[in-house]
Amino acid sequence: MPLYFVRHGESLANEQNYFAGAQDSPLTPLGRRQARQAADFVRERGLRFDQVHVSTLERAQATAAIILEGVRDAPQVLYSDALNERDFGIFAGKNKTLIKKSIGHGLFDACFHDADGAPPDGEHWMDMYARCKHYYDTVLAPLDRQGKQVLVVAHKYIVEVFALIASGLPPAEYMDFRLPNSRPLSWEELKRMTARSSSGLNYLGEQTEIHLLQWMLIAAVAGFALSCVGLAVPHGLTSTAIVALLAVNAFFLSVRIEPGALRLTGGPENLALSVVSLARAGLAMVLLTQSHNEWVHVLGLLLIVPPALSVPTFSLARGGDYFFAARYTLVLSIVLPAALLLLFLDHHEVLGSAHALERFFVVLLIALAVPSLLAQGWRRARPIAAGKLATNWGWAGSLTMVPLALLVGLQAGGRPLADALGHGGWQAWAALLLPFALLLACRLGSAAYLSAYQRVTGKAVSAAIASDIHLLQTSPNIFLWLSLLLPGTFAHAPTLVAGTLLGFFAFALLDETWVVRRFRAQITPALHQHAARTATRARPLDASGVAAGTVALDSR
């Protein structure tokens, strides 16, 4: 069948993890490269289109324009709002992950993927299906019967509905088909896409996105519990597995990053972050150089290690600025290790031996630098595949954090921890809370400084950026921190080590819970109004007449 369909290239909404729907959202640099790769695909296959049908939204039109650049015998281009993306109602412009966490998987799936569902104040699924079916029956099918070669440039939900029509499946069979950006698909390829889709994998991905931090905390506690009852894994094997999982996580993180967005920019947020980061590093240096207490040294090292690689992922999941978080995770992953190296050269006692510093930089190289470079190389060479991996399979990279938490618990627990908790009295149990209290102090200090900074300077820092600044201060890379500890530390201060690891996971979960509660409070009134309206009227399943007359072609 001479019909081809392509979803627009990556948009700003795709990149920043929010719903655009019927709103405009421009292409990102990756989105433009994806469109150029789609143009190469069209040229290499020798495809010549008689007509190109395009949504009226900016991202689809920009994609179509790039695909048609340099095409001889330019086809007729027709624009129709019947091809526009679904209207997501109150969820338009909102962070996808926050929505999922706030309303739960069941309601999210009902709003977006159920044939009898609709987002509050948004387009009902059957209305969307009806306008796509009407467009196919009255516009595309007649062109196909005439032997015309047609390209349709539209959006995720629209192309997925056409895939459902191509496969002859009823609306009730619809699921998220994980349609990649900017990959041209023929009518037959649409059929194969629906056949390959897995509701089980979709469910796992959604659950990972919603419950990742809970799973990480449970895994860490399980690791400690197993180690305390005598389960031992060879240290070398555990360390190798941790580094390998960190490398996978770093690859998924880096494949999403646009290098141009990592350039340092001006703005009050940069100064604010610099001040709180310097304050934290300064406190760390004081603790490391002015005290000979092993516990104080452990806490000092916790303050000077760079942020966790998961910070950009956490930012993306709570409506932060992904690239701000990624930019400064990278910057601090260079600056803080350099500061630690200089400190060690002048004060050897801060680490005990050079071997700890060697382990630290080896982990930094293998688990961060190498996979990041590989991911960026692949992103540049294969933009469509890289975008698909980052957008549709990013949850797989996040999922590596669960076995990481388990392995860390196994490695950092053992008999010393069990003995300390069993015979150390309340002091040993209180020590478990000390690192959590330190992270809480960092969080409160960061919030207090930002509040004072904005009052004194009159310069506003956006809520998204403020959230990222707090994340960067309270999410230390505990895996790098572990590499700095001497073997004796696990025996001499087991409750402090365990408390640091548990404190990291528990604090991240509690902080996210607070963010989700605030977001839920914002959308709850609209959800209640929608539920009340829905309860007062029955929704007819046959919506075929709703979209009648909606096909409006514009050949401007």
User: Catalytic residue numbers?
Assistant: 8, 85
- Calculate the alpha carbon distances from 358 to 95, 209, 337, 509 in Å: 40, 35, 11, 32
Distance CA 476, CA 339 (A): 15
372, two tokens: 């990041």
DSSP-derived letter for residue 287 is H
Is residue 51 within 8 A of residue 150, CB to CB? The reply is: yes
Residue with tokens 């009823």: 170
**C-alpha closest to that of 417 among 150, 228, 256, 230:** 228
Contacts 24+ apart (CB under 8 A), 163-172: 163/5, 163/190, 163/191, 163/193, 163/194, 164/129, 164/194, 165/132, 165/133, 165/136, 166/190, 166/191, 166/194, 167/191, 167/194, 167/195, 169/194, 171/115, 171/125, 171/126, 171/129, 172/115
208 CB-near residues (< 8 Å, 6+ apart)? 215, 395, 398, 399
Query: What are the CA-CA distances from residue 14 to residues 19, 26, 173, 247, 530 (Å)?
Result: 8, 10, 25, 24, 26
Is 475 labelled as part of a ligand binding site?
no
Residue 508 among known ligand-binding residues = no
d(CA 387, CA 481): 32
Q: Tell me, what DSSP letter sits at residue 298?
A: H
Tell me if 422 is assigned to a ligand binding site. no
Confirm or deny that 12 is annotated as ligand binding.
Answer: yes
Are the CB atoms for 450 and 469 separated by under 8 Å? yes
Q: Are residues 105 and 176 in contact, defined by beta-carbon separation less than 8 angstroms? A: no
Q: Which two tokens stand for residue 455?
A: 């009052």
Asked whether residue 231 is marked as a ligand-binding residue, the answer is no
Does 8 show up as a binding residue in the annotation? Answer: yes
Whether the Cβ atoms of residue 296 and residue 439 lie closer than 8 Å to each other: no
- Token readout for 507 is 């604090």
CB atoms within 10 A of CB 186: 16
CA dist 228 and 142 (Å) reads 71
Ligand-binding annotation for 292, yes or no, is no
Read off the amino acid at residue 278. L
Please indicate if the annotation marks 96 as binding a ligand.
yes
14: annotated binding-site residue?
A: yes
Residue 7's SS3 state is strand
Separation of alpha carbons 325 and 451, rounded Å? 20
13 is in an annotated binding site: yes
Residue type, position 297, single letter:
H
Q: Judge whether 449 and 276 are in contact, CB under 8 Å.
A: yes
E-strand ranges in 181-268 read 185-186
Which residues fall within 8 angstroms of residue 363, CB to CB, at 6 or more apart? 243, 246, 479, 480, 483
Q: Are 18 and 167 in contact (CB under 8 A)?
A: no
CA angle 266, 333, 391 (to 5 degrees): 80
What are the structure tokens assigned to 205, written together?
């991905």
| C-alpha closest to that of 476 among 273, 320, 332 | 332
Binding residues for substrate: 7-14, 59, 96
Binding residues: 7-14, 59, 96
